[in-house]
Structure 1
Amino acid sequence: MMMKYFYKTCLLLSLFIGLSACESLEEKPFSFIGVDNIYQNEDDVDKALLGVYETLFFPGVSDLWYTLSTSGPSEMITVRLKGGGQGQMSSVDFNETSPHGQFWSHFYRGINRANNVIKITPSVGLEDGLENAKIAEARFLRAFFYFHLARMFGDVPLQLEPTEDFSDEAIRKPRAPLTEVYAVIIADLDFAAANLPLTRPANQFGRASVAVANTLLGKVYLQMAGLPLQQTEQYSKAISTLEKVIGVHSLQEKYSDVFDIATEGNNEIIFARPNLSNVEGSGTVMTFFQGAPNTPFSFPIGQYQLAFTELLYNSFDSMDLRRDVTFLYEYTHINTGDTIRYNPGGEPTAGLQFGGPRKPNGIPIGKLKDPSNQLNPFGHGNDLIYLRYADVLLMLAEAHNEMGEGGTSRDYLNEVLQRAGLDDENEADQNSLRELIKLERKKELAGEFHEYFDLQRWGDLEASMAVNPDAILRNVAYEPKLELYPLPRGVLENNENLTQNPGY
């Protein structure tokens, strides 16, 4: 734990050391600053790499908007404030000023920082293997950012060199076809998988490894196999890539240990953003926003801004060991000692009077708990998990089923079910097994930034919206345009070479 704490502290405190070159190239270039003079040794390169990772630490309440932009547009999430940006995300009522738009600039900032590392590292004079490992780390992160952009917006500009030329031609690029964007993502991840360290020590938790690159690459292939590209030949590539993660990572014995702040950094976690409690600027606000009122699990008492729907809760078997980890259906009031139990009838529940998600109702989320934070609502130490081994197993189950290999598909699915305390699945029909796998993804990975992208590639967004409580409340009907987010208005205004997604 001390080694992990040391790494996380170094990550968070070193972010702005040695970053002046990257940031000056983005925002305020000075011709007399030479980047070649800033990168002198491995330590300088590592500091610049930490600056690329820093892009994952969204400012202010952006953790909330990231969650609502990825998990929110589904039937699984309902929000407290139905009328504003929260309601737009959860009801799939997107427009070009919706809060998702900030991630265009966030991810391109990370891409530019990665481009700097990729370009300058060869001039430092590192040993070949070490040099390639540093470049591989930057290329993994560049792929991670582009993969988000591709799924959110479709065709996007490709910028593969650091921003040094501020001419219109250099910075006002048109959108590249989605297939070209995916080609860059795959090339970056292939290079990363070939050159990153096989594993990372505990004090480097949160940095990319071969398994991290292969997990993301497998997810990329699975996305390409679905809509909109429907390149079904990618299923076999997803399988061969994801199989490389088997034996490197594994499931935790207890589902609750995946998320427990005392067992963070466990072997099920493949890639996560490491956060620290009680260190200014180092934590997440999501524990506070998701937290139920009057619990000891968030500081000061939890805002109950978003919650899981009753529809999701009712999809769990009563014997499913994941249910009472995923949901905080019942808890003890921190001050009075009273038992607070969610009321599915829609009437106010004593202890849940803050005005959380009601009509349609929402059950408090239980995955993020941090009783140790005494700093402020933004200082919670729960790590944000982007990739974990259960996701790998479910992706393998899905890909094998689509290849007509139901037996192998069930084997992977049953590993997840067994950990949940459930019976093995024996379904032999491909279509029925497909629906079971989809449901297990929704239950196993609820709120972990996958839902909207899964609905996209399955072609299930319309069906999801038909039962989405917030979409029904706001009278939002499905339109094909909602399969992608609109480009942000400010981006379009600043670049006449960009075009808006159809329908917006």
Structure 2
Amino acid sequence: MKRIHTIYKTLVAAAILLGLASCEKLDEGSDGVVASATFYSDENTLDAGIIGIYGTLRRNTWGLDNYSHFSGADDLTSRLGSNKWVVLESDQFAKTAGNSWATNDYNGNYQAILACNSYIADAHPEDVEEAVLNAAHANAYFIRGLCYFRLATSFGDVPMPLDPIPDLELSLTPKREVMAQVIKDLEFAVKWAVNDRDSNPMVSNGRVSRTAAKAFLAKTYMQLTGYPYNETDKWERVKELTGEIISDGVYSLTDDFAHSFQDPHQINKEVIFAHIMSRESWPIITQNRVYGFRWANWMDLYMEWTYFNNFPEGYRKEFSTATEGNQFFDEFQNPVVTKYTWGTRAPNSTDPVDHVFEHTWQTSNDRIAMRYAEVLLMHAEASANLGDLDTALEELNMVKRRAYAKGATKQAEVASLEPGFWMTADPEIDYTLAELSTPELMIDAIVNERAYEFLGEISGNRWLDLVRLEKVAEANAGRDSREVPLIGDPSDKNLWFTPIPATETTLNPNLN
């Protein structure tokens, strides 16, 4: 599956035209471009189509657009004025159908979905072994499942095209049916994906692996355990899937929390799946604007004060946050997120506030979508829900120890710690069973750890946790008076999902 670097540019360009530029079937002989069903003639063209689909996905995940859904949580906010209203709508519980970031996110996901639909329908070249064909299709099913998960958890009921020809009169599909399709697509990927990263995480490969498919499948089932589905029987499946990843022993926490966010290619034992970015990658332009100046100099997003004040002390907080000595804090008076201010090259300094960039506002730094820490905490929460408090406690403490890093504040200090220090009990930082003696107490501690471990990471983990646990209003009850004032009521569940963009409902009234 490493053929991405050896396919001729002409094949890649053809794949772009077939999978990206249009989701309609092209007529044979139209200016040298053939119908997609005709294009897929052998294993090389099969692979070229997958390259094109990943290009579509990554071009549409390189901005901050999906944060427009998630700032109603208690972690992220923005500032008044300028063009920050696209973030503040969610933060103030006043989402509208005219939000440009939400519209971009909606359109981008559907562009990738329609490219996947075309590939699944048409990429069936003769004389290609079934196992090879299914391994290639596993990528399309995985991407489609991932996109539908993001759409259903952000917008709720959404149209669910599964055909390559767009239906301009398609109606909304209930979100539970969409989640069922997510499960079906990810299960195909679990069964058929072929990727060296299933045995060696140090391999650079942005394709789907069985490990990644299992992790996202577990995340889907976990979302079903709470609001608005409340299918608590799904915890067994969450524990099973994450337990398989843990028992495989291929992935693990890194000793340095910061490392995953500094490495421009996210090649380490913790990153299970990342959207691979490259600033110079014609014809697939996938440069990343989530990292770099979006956080360092443009400052679209900040932290809320209550969240910052409650952030557990230690290395993770030192790396992820800043107040003193930051010009944007001095100007706007909200804590600054420094976790994503790394450019393509890691800085020479060990100071987590001092950064060096290869590019000004675009970077080749990959965008992490799934880390082993998330697998570990999903397994811990499933264990707690199923009454296995011993397992939950140890896994929770592993993440907590790594975050605290023996009280280190600099990378040089973390580097001097014993490798795997987070696997050894630490009475100074560990929770005990006496403290977390019930499933409820244990789950609260796990969810709290997730709140700080995944600050600002893709798909809005904090927001999804608050929704599924129906704690949106509770989290906003402690809102600091310095934050922008609320407009809507956080307890109104109708405000938890983003409206379908007006650009879509105007064209298709069936989406109202």
TM-score class, shorter: 0.7 to 0.9
2:298 paired with 1:284: no
Q: Matches of 2:189 and 2:273 in 1, distance apart?
A: 14
Query: Residues 447-467 of structure 1: CA distance to partner in whole angstroms, max 9, x if unpaired?
Result: 103222222111111122333
Do the aligned partners of 2:53 and 2:115 also contact (CA within 8 Å) in 1? yes
2:391 paired with 1:390: no
Query: Residues 166-190 of structure 1: CA distance to partner in whole angstroms, max 9, x if unpaired?
Result: 6xxx332111222322221111111
Q: Residues 117 and 205 of structure 1: is their aligned pair in 2 closer, same or farther, counting only changes over 3 Å?
A: same
Q: CA deviation at 1:223?
A: 0.3
Q: CA deviation at 1:141?
A: 0.8
Q: How does 1:249-288 map to 2 (within 5 A)?
A: 249-261=251-263, 264-276=266-278, 281-288=285-292
2:309 paired with 1:303: no
Matched residue, 1:182 = 179
2:461 paired with 1:464: no
Q: CA deviation at 1:138?
A: 0.8
Q: Matches of 1:180 and 1:304 in 2, distance apart?
A: 37
Q: Matches of 2:93 and 2:44 in 1, distance apart?
A: 44
Matched residue, 2:423 = none
Query: Residues 19-39 of structure 1: CA distance to partner in whole angstroms, max 9, x if unpaired?
Result: 222346526844654323211
Q: Matches of 2:467 and 2:173 in 1, distance apart?
A: 20
Query: Residues 375-422 of structure 1: CA distance to partner in whole angstroms, max 9, x if unpaired?
Result: 754421221111110001111111111222222211221121121236
Do the aligned partners of 1:199 and 1:211 also contact (CA within 8 Å) in 2? no
Do the aligned partners of 2:62 and 2:290 also contact (CA within 8 Å) in 1? no
Structure 2 unaligned runs (5+)? 346-355, 406-427
Give the percent of matched residue pairs that are identical in Structure 1 and Structure 2. 25
Q: Matches of 1:376 and 1:382 in 2, distance apart?
A: 11
Q: Matches of 2:6 and 2:475 in 1, distance apart?
A: 41
Matched residue, 1:137 = 139
Matched residue, 2:511 = 498
Do the aligned partners of 1:279 and 1:375 also contact (CA within 8 Å) in 2? no
Count of residues in correspondence between the two structures: 458
Matched residue, 2:415 = none
Q: CA deviation at 1:263?
A: 6.9
Q: Residues 466 and 215 of structure 1: is their aligned pair in 2 closer, same or farther, counting only changes over 3 Å?
A: same
Q: Residues 266 and 424 of structure 1: is their aligned pair in 2 closer, same or farther, counting only changes over 3 Å?
A: same
2:226 paired with 1:192: no
Do the aligned partners of 1:221 and 1:238 also contact (CA within 8 Å) in 2? yes
Matched residue, 2:411 = none
Matched residue, 1:489 = 502
Q: Residues 93 and 326 of structure 1: is their aligned pair in 2 closer, same or farther, counting only changes over 3 Å?
A: same
Q: Matches of 2:8 and 2:472 in 1, distance apart?
A: 37
Q: CA deviation at 1:491?
A: 1.0
Do the aligned partners of 2:37 and 2:123 also contact (CA within 8 Å) in 1? no
Do the aligned partners of 1:81 and 1:305 also contact (CA within 8 Å) in 2? no
Matched residue, 1:347 = none
Do the aligned partners of 2:93 and 2:486 also contact (CA within 8 Å) in 1? no
2:334 paired with 1:366: no
Residue type of the partner of 1:410? Answer: L
Q: CA deviation at 1:129?
A: 1.0
Residue type of the partner of 2:231? Answer: Q
Q: CA deviation at 1:131?
A: 0.8
Matched residue, 1:47 = 48
Q: Matches of 1:255 and 1:312 in 2, distance apart?
A: 19
Q: Matches of 1:407 and 1:110 in 2, distance apart?
A: 42
Q: Matches of 1:245 and 1:11 in 2, distance apart?
A: 35
Matched residue, 1:231 = 231
Matched residue, 2:489 = 477
Q: Matches of 2:118 and 2:223 in 1, distance apart?
A: 28
TM-score (norm 2): 0.81
Single out whichever of 85-94 and 464-473 deviates more from structure 2. 464-473
Matched residue, 1:296 = none
Q: Matches of 1:400 and 1:179 in 2, distance apart?
A: 24
Q: Matches of 1:495 and 1:147 in 2, distance apart?
A: 22
Q: CA deviation at 1:11?
A: 12
Do the aligned partners of 2:251 and 2:272 also contact (CA within 8 Å) in 1? yes
Q: How does 1:392-411 map to 2 (within 5 A)?
A: 392-411=375-394
Q: Matches of 2:470 and 2:87 in 1, distance apart?
A: 23
Matched residue, 2:349 = none
Residue type of the partner of 1:327? Answer: T
Q: CA deviation at 1:438?
A: 1.2
Residue type of the partner of 2:136? Answer: K
Q: Matches of 1:50 and 1:199 in 2, distance apart?
A: 17
Q: CA deviation at 1:374?
A: 6.3
Q: CA deviation at 1:147?
A: 0.5
Q: Residues 262 and 113 of structure 1: is their aligned pair in 2 closer, same or farther, counting only changes over 3 Å?
A: closer
Q: Residues 472 and 12 of structure 1: is their aligned pair in 2 closer, same or farther, counting only changes over 3 Å?
A: farther
Q: Residues 371 and 41 of structure 1: is their aligned pair in 2 closer, same or farther, counting only changes over 3 Å?
A: closer
Q: Residues 80 and 182 of structure 1: is their aligned pair in 2 closer, same or farther, counting only changes over 3 Å?
A: same
Structure 1 unaligned runs (5+)? 293-301, 331-339, 343-350, 500-504
Q: Matches of 1:14 and 1:275 in 2, distance apart?
A: 20
Matched residue, 2:96 = 95
Query: Residues 52-103 of structure 1: CA distance to partner in whole angstroms, max 9, x if unpaired?
Result: 21233345x9612223434x33211121345621221333321111221222
Q: Matches of 1:485 and 1:353 in 2, distance apart?
A: 29
Q: Matches of 1:14 and 1:452 in 2, distance apart?
A: 41
Q: Matches of 2:133 and 2:147 in 1, distance apart?
A: 22
Q: CA deviation at 1:268?
A: 0.5
Matched residue, 1:454 = 465
Q: Residues 327 and 196 of structure 1: is their aligned pair in 2 closer, same or farther, counting only changes over 3 Å?
A: same
Residue type of the partner of 1:307? Answer: Y
Do the aligned partners of 1:279 and 1:379 also contact (CA within 8 Å) in 2? no
2:173 paired with 1:173: no
Q: Matches of 2:382 and 2:448 in 1, distance apart?
A: 15
Do the aligned partners of 1:78 and 1:306 also contact (CA within 8 Å) in 2? yes
Matched residue, 1:214 = 214
Residue type of the partner of 2:233? Answer: E
TM-score (norm 1): 0.83
